[in-house]
Chain A
């Protein structure tokens, strides 16, 4: 673990959910000093002028002022877990730290005569489960950030993706995870388009990388993997492919490789169209979406339907892959990185046994028409409306939701976030909403059946 001031696990507070009951303080005091005296709790909840509640708690700051002002070196930042440790043997009880902290995160404990502060109970804070209103959460996503930070970034700096694109993020994280013993296939599309294979003799990737044809990614990669297997070398065969090449013209080789259970990890970056080559429709493009080949106009297009975006529903490629009984199939979203990492780990492990398939929904700022700072928000809204469902499958355990959304937002919350749906009529919107409900019911049914 490095010594950079990165992000660490932390206790988050949702003021909207807090009613000031004080159960967290009781739990803390009980855990730390053995009695439920809320005055001795290291977490303090106090009413504010707006009839709400505020939190006084150590933030385990990256640049902690309490540490800076301490004249006795009794406070230190622990770079392994991010916690600011207090050393009673060194402390001279000057209380300067209580003045230095802007969050009232360290205070005198009258019961001991020394300062006391939150130490996160070694990663299992007693206050969090004590809250009856879920106002406190122990956020662990930073674990990934810290781990990933220590792995080599296997792409060159400055890949040429569109502004706000999340695919570069996805690629860098994926390659950090797979490591250097990887052969990477990136069929024509955004992934090589941003320079991963390179131009004119330069390359953006530090592992062996190639352009397969749009049509033969899975087959070519299978050949690579098979030869290394034959000579007894452990090499991970990874594809990062677009949805068009996977669901349309490259589907045959994908299906064939899955049926043969080739030991490869096939990741589809689903931006719901041929975005790199000019935002044309693919079979993963959703109903109603504007693309450059399903444009919006006054005339009629496909099958005599009004030209108001795509007239067919999207092909559900990950479900088709489930029906190949692959070693592992999962959907993922960059708005849920912890979920994505969990699935990436499982997919890597599964690819040593057979075919692993990971379908990552990837909002496209350019092709979907939304502001460049909204990528994660659009990705999140897709999940929160059940437009996109996050699940995983393996033959032994069947299909399970990993981030079930029991109380979904209306799909309009997702649709209105981007320009490609701007033209939709109420009928089209209701079609999409009904399809969301239908798709959810279908996958739920599948989850039930696969688990039975």
Chain B
């Protein structure tokens, strides 16, 4: 599908951009404003709250033209946006943790209706035990529901990815909701220098809005949205199958579209982010550690120190977690002999981190055995320091010569 934006010539040199000092939540809000949604629905929850406060202030100050709905809970937040999207609105919200759990019923349905809603998850650990601190447990818990989920490493990446998310979601080959995940505490409140794209450049990048061409609630083209599919027999189940298969196809298409959109972004704005999988000092590495989100900064520092100390270690970072970037990851895994995977959440079923569990499936496709192990750290706002990553590197290095432990390593257990 050719997008309208390709008609807009890409400048040979990115325009000069305004430099600001903002926290991650404000960066997300600024990105939302530049993407020009018609409708945002909000409900506060730590550590997302300042994000929607920034959005509300941008609207109140006339810097953003959107209908803001202060709904009575996350369930209605997403439901309002579903209605808006079906009527043709570009839509946005943000949530996390218990809010995402409460939202789950309409959340599941959003991808089934192929509504390109963008929602930030300012990731927060799950309760109970009671906690209001960062962790990936919320987003990981809903990873199997058909939303595209991308994780950011820096505040600048939050800003840029938030804008890109709309273009990815609304691409006609995708038409799926997108979560932009930014780590609670570390990115939400972490203040950093960012470059703010110019509005006209973002407008040219975004192109023409067309979000309900496939499904609409519009008296000008009346249709029944989501009629019941029949039970066994007849064409009911096959209708259902075609819908589900279409969702899976949209997810797979998104891998290509995410790459294309990131490439265009780099051309237009001069900033390049690995769209699916990032390799850091992986060439020539014997083994690697794998990371997700903001922890990657400390991990890269640890890798640099380890390299300086003569260790042949590299890093693989996942940006796009859903759909899981199997082919891209296979290329990276093909370069190494051992792997340590660091998760910021827990996979209760496998007694390991969820990203580790997903990666084991990819390792099977590699066709050769790579010893690997799971590390779980950064739960409930805990910091994963370079010191922790040195432990990860050392333990992973041992996999080259010793049997891999079955049990995960809980990094912050004795902090």
Per-position contact with A for B269-307: 1 when CB-CB < 8 Å, else 0? 000000000000000000000000000000000000000
A198 to B230, CA, bound (A): 10
Chain B residue at minimal CB-CB distance from A199: B228
- Asked whether A227 lies within 8 Å of B38 as measured between CB atoms, the reply is yes
B interface SS class: mixed
A199 touches B70 (CB 8 A): no
CA A181 to CA B76, docked complex, whole Å: 25
Which residues of A206-255 are within 8 A (CB) of B?
206-213, 215-216, 218-228, 230-231, 235, 252-253, 255
| Residue on A nearest B236 in the bound complex, by CB | A200
- Assess the A203–B223 pair: CB atoms within 8 A: yes
In angstroms, Cα B234 to Cα A403, docked, is: 50
**A277 contacts B by Cβ under 8 Å:** no
> With a CB–CB cut-off of 8 A, which chain A residues contact B216?
208
Which one of B41, B77, B87 contacts A228 once the chains associate, using CB atoms below 8 Å?
B87
User: When the two chains form their complex, are residues B72 and A259 in contact, meaning their CB atoms are under 8 A apart?
Assistant: yes
A227 (CB) vs chain B CBs: closest residue: B87
Q: What's the Cα separation between A329 and B329 when bound, in Å?
A: 59
Indicate if the CB atoms of A210 and B224 lie closer than 8 Å.
Answer: yes
Closest to A217 in B: B79
Across-interface contacts of A111 in B (CB, < 8 A): none
Query: Are A201 and B38 in contact (CB-based, < 8 A)?
Result: no
Verify if A105 is at the interface (C-beta below 8 Å from B): no
Least CB distance from A239 to B in Å reads 11
Given contacts A192-B228, A200-B239, A226-B67, contact A210 B76 (CB under 8 A): no
Residues of B305-357 contacting chain A, CB below 8 A = none
Assess whether A283 is interfacial by the CB under 8 Å rule. no
Other-chain contact of B218, A203, A208, A223, A226 (Cβ < 8 Å): A208
- Let me know if B84 and A226 touch, CB within 8 A: yes
Chain A residues closer than 8 Å to B106, beta-carbon distance: 213, 216
Is A207 in contact with B105, judged by CB distance below 8 angstroms?
no
Provide the residues of chain B in CB contact with A203, threshold 8 Å.
223-224, 227
Contact A199 B73 (CB under 8 A): no
B177 to chain A, nearest CB (A): 14
The answer to whether A227 touches B83 (Cβ under 8 A) is yes
Indicate whether B245 reaches chain A with its CB closer than 8 angstroms: no
Contact B219–A256 (Cβ < 8 Å): no
A260 at the interface (CB under 8 A from B): yes
Cα A216 to Cα B110 with chains together (Å): 13
* B interface residues, how many (CB within 8 angstroms): 44
Identify which of residues 201-254 in chain B touch chain A, using a CB-to-CB cut-off of 8 Å.
Answer: 216-219, 222-230, 234-236, 239
Interface size on A, residues (CB 8 A): 44
Contacts of B132 in A (CB 8 A): none
Most buried by A among B222, B226, B239: B222
- Is A205 close to B, CB under 8 A? yes
Cβ A224 vs Cβ B239 within 8 A? no
Q: Determine which residue in B80, B88, B216 has the highest number of CB atoms from chain A within 10 A of its CB, and name it.
A: B80
Whether, in the assembled complex, B86 has its beta carbon less than 8 Å from a beta carbon of chain A, the answer is: yes
Q: Is the CB of B89 within 8 A of A227?
A: yes
CA of A231 to CA of B89, assembled, Å: 10
Known: A201-B227, A206-B222, A209-B225. A215 touches B105 (CB 8 A): yes
Q: Does A298 lie at the interface of the complex (its beta carbon under 8 Å from any beta carbon of B)?
A: no
Interface status of A182 (Cβ within 8 A of chain B): yes
Query: Which among B39, B222, B225 is the interface contact of A223 at CB below 8 angstroms?
Result: B39
Set B89, B228, B235: member contacting A198, Cβ < 8 A: B228
B45 to chain A minimum Cβ distance, whole angstroms, is 16
CB distance from B238 to the nearest CB of A (A): 10
Say yes or no for B196: interface residue by CB 8 A criterion: no
Q: Mark B108-131, 1 if CB is under 8 A from A, else 0.
A: 010000000000000000000000
Identify B219's interface contact among A182, A201, A252, CB under 8 A. A182
> How far is B85's CA from A50's CA once the two chains are assembled, in angstroms?
71
Inter-subunit contact B224/A219 (CB<8 Å): no
Indicate if A180 sits at the interface (CB-CB under 8 A).
yes
A48 within 8 A of B: no
Q: Which of these, A182, A230, A252, contacts B75 with CB under 8 Å?
A: A252
**Interface residue? A106 (CB, 8 A):** no
| Nearest B-chain residue to A196, judged by Cβ | B224
Q: Is A202 an interface residue (CB 8 A)?
A: yes
Q: How far is the CA of A231 from the CA of B83 in the complex (A)?
A: 14
Q: Are B87 and A224 in contact (CB under 8 A)?
A: yes
Residues of B within 8 A of A144 (CB): none
Q: Are A226 and B39 in contact (CB under 8 A)?
A: yes
Check if B69 is an interface residue, CB within 8 A of chain A: yes
Q: How near does chain B come to A150, taking the closest CB pair, in angstroms? A: 20
Q: Would you give the shortest CB distance from B343 to chain A, in whole angstroms? A: 32
Q: Is A197 an interface residue (CB 8 A)?
A: yes
Q: How far is the CB of B394 from chain A (nearest CB, A)?
A: 50
The answer, yes or no, to whether A95 is at the interface (CB within 8 Å) is no
Contacts of B223 in A (CB 8 A): 203, 208
A251 to B84: give the CA distance in the assembly, Å.
21
B77 cross-chain contacts in A, Cβ below 8 A: 219
Closest partner residue, chain A, to B212 (CB atom): A227
Assuming the contacts A227-B39, A253-B72, asked whether A205 and B224 have C-beta atoms less than 8 A apart, the reply is yes
Bound state CA distance, A188 and B410, in angstroms? Answer: 46
A61 at the interface (CB under 8 A from B): no
**A183 and B67 form a contact (CB under 8 A):** no
Q: B225 contacts A222, CB within 8 Å? A: no
* Contact in complex: B80, A223 (CB < 8 Å): yes
Interface residue from A192, A202, A253, A259 paired with B79 (Cβ < 8 Å): A253
Given contacts A223-B87, A227-B39, contact A197 B76 (CB under 8 A): no
From A211, A253, A256, give the contact of B226 (CB < 8 A). A211
Q: Please give me the 5 A-B residue pairs with the lowest Cβ-Cβ distance, nearest first.
A: A223-B83, A256-B72, A203-B224, A216-B79, A227-B87
List 29 A-B pairs, Cβ < 8 Å.
A181-B219, A182-B219, A192-B228, A198-B227, A199-B236, A201-B235, A205-B224, A206-B222, A208-B223, A209-B225, A210-B86, A213-B105, A215-B79, A216-B106, A218-B76, A220-B79, A222-B69, A222-B83, A223-B41, A223-B83, A224-B86, A226-B67, A226-B89, A227-B39, A227-B83, A230-B67, A231-B88, A252-B75, A259-B72
- Which B residues fall within an 8 A CB radius of A? 38-39, 41, 67, 69-73, 75-77, 79-89, 91, 105-106, 109, 216-219, 222-230, 234-236, 239
Known pairs A197-B225, A208-B218 / 13 extra A-B pairs, C-beta < 8 Å: A180-B219, A192-B228, A200-B227, A200-B234, A211-B226, A220-B79, A220-B82, A223-B69, A226-B69, A226-B84, A227-B67, A252-B73, A253-B75
Q: Which residues of A contact B (CB under 8 A)?
A: 180-183, 192, 197-203, 205-213, 215-216, 218-228, 230-231, 235, 252-253, 255-257, 259-260
